[in-house]
Amino acid sequence: MERGGVGRNADHWWRHGAPAGRGRSLGLGVLLAACLLLAGCAATQPNIFRPGGSAGHDIRTLAIQVLAILSVVLLVVWALLAFVIIRFRKRPESEASQTRGNLRIEIVWTLIPAVIVTVLFVLTVRTTAQLAPPDRGAQFTVTGHQWWWEFGYPAEGFKTANEIHVAVDRPVNADLVSPDVIHSFWVPQMGGKVDMIPGRVNHTRFIPLASGRYLGECAEFCGFQHGQMRFLLIVESAEEFSAWVRAQRRPAAEPQSAAAVAGAEVAATVGCGGCHTIRGTSLKGAVGPDLTHFGSRGGIGAWTLPNTPQNLLSWLQDPQKVKPKCLMPRVPLPPEQLRQLVAYLEELK
């Protein structure tokens, strides 16, 4: 079975070759994505030499060409250095030739780098132009916050946080904004990063070619927890993507278990609504991540921790201990209420 560039973290990054072409990826993608979602695997290794999207592939190709050319230059320099060191050590001083220069040689070794630079420039401009500027139509808006990701689908009427799904083989267009400091949207396996700069709207566009789970990161220093500001990009079939959109549009699931029902009550009374929204309830805060479908997400605190009940309990007990200086304060609650909250949140699928 072809690997198809899917992001399992089993092997070392240098062992993987180029992923399969687009046609094969589609069928493969469905199969593999199904396996993966069922297997519930962890976040992937974000290696740009294992691209999963069009831009990622283009850049990888360009990188190999550039690195190949420049490696030759490096080897030539090393070879000359080695030769010189070996050949000309320990000679008597009288044998040192007092040459001051040689115009012909100097012209040659000025022209050769000039030619190399010209080639590299042409390759660069070609690929830069190829990674075409984005369409005007953005499907979703990415808002960078200190230190989490907000994904908004205005047309469909929902927002989510820290995890996003897209359909394979379809162009993805996103607007990138930030209300606070500069962040940078980067999914290494999909392509280059684009900064999110307060006061302007940047765009990113890429075509995911292989289904899977891809790690995204903030790539511009944005303060204390820049290092723990991750998100997950899940590439899946068109059907699965539509299903996901439909699920996200629904308001929050009603709590089923007794603990979850009690947890809903706790959430409504201890002030979670000051920052968080859970659509369909009284919580309508806009400062922190939307928790409407929190239970279906794989991470907590922008993937500071995987989303498990135990981790969620630690997080709720003291977010400052897990992610120091993050903007969620510690709200001391008795252990019983914390467990109920965990039960409630995990049922928000």
Partner 1 sequence: MPAGPVLEAARPRGLGAWLTTTDHKRIGLLYIGTALAFFLVAVAFAMLMRTQLIRPGMRLLSPEQYNQIFSMHGTTMVFLFGMPMLIGLANYLVPLQIGARDMAFPRVNALSYWLLLFGGLLLYSSFAFGGALDTGWFSYAPLTLKAYSPHDGVTFWTVSLVLLGASSILGSINFIVTCLRFRAPGMRLWQMPVFAVATFINSFLILFAFPSLTAAIALLYLDRQYGTSFFDPAGGGDPVIWQHLFWFFGHPEVYILILPAFGIMSEVVPVFSRKPLFGRESMLVMLAAIGFLGFLVWAHHMFATGLPTIFNAIMAGTSMLIAIPTGVKIFNWLATMWGGSLRFRPPLLFACSLIALFTIGGITGVTLAVVPWDWQVTDTYYVVGHLHNVLFAGTVFAVFAGIYYWFPKATGRRLDERLGKLHFWLITVGFVVTFMPLYALGPMGMPRRVYTYAPGQGWDTLNLVSSLGGYLIAVAVLVFLFNVVRSLRRGQVAGDNPWGAWTLEWAATSPPPPGNFTWLPVIRSERPLWDLEQAAAAPAAMASASAGEAAASASLTYALAPEPERNTAVPFWAALALLVTAIGLLSTPVVIGLGIALLLIVLAVWMAEPWVQPELPAVPGRQMSFIGAGMLAFIGSETVFFASLIAADIHLRLHAPADAIGAGLATAFPAVNTGVLIASGVAAHYAQVAYRRRRPQSFNFLLGLTIVLGTAFLAGQAWEYTHLGFGLSASLTASAFFTLTGFHGLHVACGIAALVFLSFRVRREWRVWPGAPSRGSAGMVDAGTYYWHFVDAVWVVVFVVVYLL
Whether omega before 14 lies within 30 degrees of 0, making that bond cis, reads: no
Report, in Å, the least distance between residue 179 CB and partner 1: 9
Q: Which two tokens stand for residue 61?
A: 């190709």
Considering only residues 100, 136, 332, 335, which one is a binding residue for partner 1 as defined by CB under 8 A?
Answer: 100
**Which one of residues 63, 238, 258, 286 is an interface residue with partner 1 (CB under 8 A)?**
63
Report angle CA 203, 205, 210 to the nearest 5 degrees.
150
* 15 in contact with partner 1 (CB under 8 A): no
For partner 1, the binding residue among 31, 35, 77, 287 (CB under 8 A) is 77
Q: Which of residues 232-291 bind partner 1 (CB under 8 A)?
A: none
Q: How far is the CB of 261 from partner 1 (least distance, A)?
A: 34
Of the listed pieces 137-145, 222-230, 237-245, 283-291, which binds partner 1 according to CB under 8 A? Answer: 222-230
Q: List the one residue from 225, 237, 292, 307 that touches partner 1 (CB under 8 A).
A: 225
- Report the length, in residues, of the chain: 349
Could you say whether residue 110 binds partner 1 (CB under 8 A)?
yes
| 143 sits near partner 1 (criterion: CB under 8 A) | no
Which positions from 23 through 62 interact with partner 1, judged by CB under 8 A?
42-43, 45-49, 55, 58-59, 62
Tokens for 192, please give them: 């280059």
146 close to 223: Cβ distance less than 8 angstroms: yes
Amino acid making up residue 2: E
End-to-end CA distance of the chain: 32
149-159 burial by CB neighbour count: b if 16+ within 10 A, else e? bbbbbeeeebb
Q: Of 27, 221, 242, 280, which lies in the binding site for partner 1, with binding defined by CB under 8 A? A: 221
Report if residue 220 touches partner 1, rule: CB under 8 A: yes
Binding flags for partner 1, 167-206, as an x/- string (CB under 8 A): -------------xxx-x-x-x--xxxxx-xxxx-xx---
What is the DSSP secondary-structure string of 12-74?
-GGG--PPP-HHHHHHHHHHHHHHHHHHT--PPP--TTS--BHHHHHHHHHHHHHHHHHHHHH
Per CB under 8 A, 67 contacts partner 1 = yes
